[in-house]
């Protein structure tokens, strides 16, 4: 991999640990820090630099969470470019937790939550709904809203990850950026006549 730099020219080196991986990118630690990480796009999957720059300037980038050690969104902070100036990665805040998907198994919730109770489950659901409402309030639409894109810490606080694919309009230029990832909806089963719904 070529050397990656912030727009100001400062070099940023990937750390040794991979935090996650998907079809279009991998998330790695950043050397010499434990508060940030980098999402490195595979060849041909990097978003346009204009999109990342506009995304970094949006209000959610500065949203703090419900307590001092919590962030509502793992929002892109800065693009990382190669020697040609092309966007190859993005700097993100590093957050810990497990995906909501892992909490769907009631027998394993005690591994991940300090209080694996119905009260905590309801609080997590409310926090997800409030987070989506907050994003809609600043005209950000999450097309890829899945249980795997929400991290929950031991206290039940929720952080949205994979924020670089959202739909938004750059308030400075009016440029519209559609969601680059959309979770397909599951069709509801059709009921035959006379079948109770």
**Domain spans of the chain, in order of start:** 4-177
Residue 192's pLDDT band (cuts 50, 70, 90): very low
Q: Assess contact for 38 and 28: CB atoms under 8 A.
A: yes
CB < 8 Å & 24+ apart, contacts of 142-149? 142/166, 142/167, 142/179, 143/167, 143/179, 143/180, 143/181, 143/182, 143/183, 144/179, 144/181, 144/182, 144/183, 145/183, 146/101, 146/183, 147/99, 147/100, 147/101, 147/104, 148/99, 148/100, 148/101, 149/99
Residue range 138-162: mean pLDDT, rounded:
94
State both tokens at 140. 């950000």
Nearest C-alpha neighbor of 167 from the set 130, 192, 140, 138? 140
| Residue pointed to by tokens 């978003």 | 47
State the average pLDDT for the chain: 89
Full-model pTM: 0.85
Answer whether residue 177 shows pLDDT above 70.
Answer: yes
CATH of 4-177, one of 3.40.220.10, 1.10.10.10, 1.10.510.10, 1.20.1250.20: 1.10.510.10
Give the residue, 188 or 89, on which the prediction is more confident.
89
């Amino acid at each position: 991999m070529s050397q990656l730099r912030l727009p100001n020219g400062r070099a940023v080196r990937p750390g040794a640990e991979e935090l996650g991986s998907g079809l279009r990118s991998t998330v790695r630690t950043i050397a010499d820090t434990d508060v940030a990480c980098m999402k490195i796009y595979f060849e041909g999957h990097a978003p346009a630099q204009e999109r990342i720059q506009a995304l970094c300037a949006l209000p959610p980038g500065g949203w703090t969470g419900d307590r001092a050690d919590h962030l509502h969104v793992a929002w892109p902070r800065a693009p990382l470019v190669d020697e040609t100036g092309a966007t190859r990665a993005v700097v993100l805040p590093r957050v810990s937790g497990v995906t909501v998907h892992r909490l769907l198994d009631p027998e394993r919730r005690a591994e991940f939550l300090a209080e694996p109770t119905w009260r905590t489950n309801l609080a997590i659901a409310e926090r997800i709904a409030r987070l989506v409402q907050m994003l809609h309030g600043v005209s950000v639409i999450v097309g890829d809203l899945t249980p795997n894109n929400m991290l929950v810490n031991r206290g039940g606080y929720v952080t949205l990850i994979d924020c670089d694919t959202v739909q938004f309009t750059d308030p400075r230029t009016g440029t519209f950026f559609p969601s680059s990832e959309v979770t397909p909806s599951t069709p509801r089963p059709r009921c035959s006549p006379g079948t109770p719904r």
